[in-house]
Amino acid sequence: MSQQTLTTGDRAAIRSPWRDFLHAFVRNPLALASGGFVLLLLLVALFAPWLAPWDPMAPDWTALSAPPSGAHWMGTDDLGRDVLSRVIYGARISLYVGVVSVTLGMLVGIVLGLLAGYYGRWVDMLIMRGCDVLFAFPGMLLAIAVVAILGPGLNNVIIAVAVFSVPVFARIVRASTLSLKQAAWVDAVRCAGAPDRVILLRHILPGTLPNVIIYFTMRIGTSILTAAGLSFIGLGPEPDVPEWGNILAMSRSMMMAGLWHVSVFPGLAIFMTVLAFNLLGDALRDTLDPKLKS
- CATH code of residue 195: 1.10.3720.10
Please give the pLDDT value at position 270. 93
**Containing structural domain, residue 87:** 17-51+68-292
- Asked, for residue 4, whether it belongs to a domain, the answer is no
- Asked, for residue 266, whether it belongs to a domain, the answer is yes
- Asked, for residue 12, whether it belongs to a domain, the answer is no
Please give the pLDDT value at position 291. 55
Please give the pLDDT value at position 87. 92
Please give the pLDDT value at position 9. 47
- Asked, for residue 3, whether it belongs to a domain, the answer is no
Count up the domains in the chain and report the number.
Answer: 1
- Asked, for residue 142, whether it belongs to a domain, the answer is yes
Query: 33 burial class (0-12, 13-18, 19+ CB within 10 angstroms)?
Result: middle
Give 10-residue mean pLDDT values along the chain (294 residues): 47 57 71 88 92 86 80 82 90 92 93 88 89 83 85 87 89 88 77 78 84 89 90 83 86 73 88 91 74 52
Please give the pLDDT value at position 15. 57
Please give the pLDDT value at position 20. 64
Please give the pLDDT value at position 2. 46
- Asked, for residue 61, whether it belongs to a domain, the answer is no
Please give the pLDDT value at position 102. 93
- Asked, for residue 5, whether it belongs to a domain, the answer is no
Please give the pLDDT value at position 21. 63
- Asked, for residue 59, whether it belongs to a domain, the answer is no
Please give the pLDDT value at position 17. 60
